[in-house]
């Protein structure tokens, strides 16, 4: 079974949902980018006020991504048999192509939880999500810069259009209902591997005529994601790296809803 499991550099504030009785107070797990753990805790505590709520990182837990191989059906069967050994084992809520999210105690034997799987590395995971056009963390979704609809969060269960007020709701709802979104995050493939640590965030992507088509967000090797104008994605595009041009091609992910990105 070609199933890969990646350990992610993420931190998990608060306590797991482990109810021993119906009367137990609720516990919530929040997965976040480990680089902003302190900022998220500080932000949540602003709204705690005088409530008896404990907000703390779960340092005794590990977060894994279970990426499906060719035998995805067999993974599901394994999960059904061995899921009781995991703290949390659930389908990735963003899209089924991202497999499952697995939370275990530190040091858990993953081969017992999902027989037939093997442990990959973090770059395997990033390459998989770049190919699918899945953004993750503050590097891919810069706070104050990334817009939810341009980042395709509506396709990944990341936006509610029925919820009450939240920051940016009016603009997000209006754009959604008007249906005009000119730029989107898209998976891109480069004609040659990117140089390591030599591509600045937000590097310009140009058309063959030299006009701006969008900006690079993140990537590694031959794959990445970029915020591109939809009108330009079928043209020859180039990433500008310190004056040099690297050719790239963009594509719309197959998991997107039908008629999406038009």
Highest mean pLDDT among 42-51, 74-83, 147-156, 167-176: 147-156
Using pLDDT thresholds of 50, 70 and 90, give the confidence band for residue 4. Answer: low
Range of the domain at 174: 148-250
What is the share, in percent, of the chain residues with pLDDT greater than 70?
83
- Full strand arrangement of the beta sheet holding 88-91: 88-91, 100-105, 61-67, 3-7, 117-119
The domain that holds 223 is classified in CATH as 2.40.30.160
Q: pLDDT tens, 105-164?
A: 888 888 888 877 788 899 999 999 999 999 999 999 999 899 999 999 999 999 888 877
At residue 18, the pLDDT reads 47
Question: How far is it, in rounded angstroms, from Cα 256 to Cα 253?
Answer: 6
Is 28 inside any structural domain?
A: no
Model pTM score: 0.82
Q: Does 89 share its domain with 152?
A: no
Is 216 inside any structural domain?
A: yes
Is 85 inside any structural domain?
A: yes
Which two three-digit tokens encode residue 149?
Answer: 């609809």
Residue 16 has pLDDT above 50, yes or no: no
């Amino acid at each position: 079974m070609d199933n890969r499991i990646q350990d992610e550099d993420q931190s998990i504030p608060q306590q797991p949902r482990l109810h021993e009785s119906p009367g137990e107070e609720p516990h919530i797990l929040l997965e976040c980018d480990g680089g902003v753990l302190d900022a998220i805790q500080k932000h949540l505590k602003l709204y705690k006020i005088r409530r008896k709520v404990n907000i703390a990182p779960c340092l005794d837990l590990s977060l894994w991504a279970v990426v499906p191989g060719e035998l995805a059906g067999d993974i599901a069967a394994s999960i059904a048999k061995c899921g009781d050994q995991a703290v949390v084992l659930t389908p990735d809520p963003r899209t089924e192509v991202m497999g499952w999210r697995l939370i275990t105690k530190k040091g858990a034997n993953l081969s017992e939880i999902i027989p037939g799987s093997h442990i990959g590395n973090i770059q395997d995971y990033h390459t998989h999500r770049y190919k699918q056009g899945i953004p993750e963390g503050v590097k891919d979704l810069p706070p104050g810069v990334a817009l939810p609809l341009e980042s395709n969060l509506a396709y990944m269960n990341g936006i509610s259009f029925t919820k009450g007020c939240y920051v940016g709701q009016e603009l997000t709802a209006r754009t959604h209902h008007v249906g005009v979104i000119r730029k989107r995050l898209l998976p891109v493939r480069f004609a040659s591997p990117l140089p390591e640590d030599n591509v600045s965030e937000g590097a310009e992507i140009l058309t063959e005529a030299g006009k701006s088509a969008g900006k690079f967000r993140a990537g590694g090797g031959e794959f990445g994601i970029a915020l591109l104008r939809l009108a330009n994605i079928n043209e020859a595009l180039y990433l500008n790296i310190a004056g040099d041009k690297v050719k790239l091609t963009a594509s719309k992910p197959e998991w997107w809803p039908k008629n999406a990105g038009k």
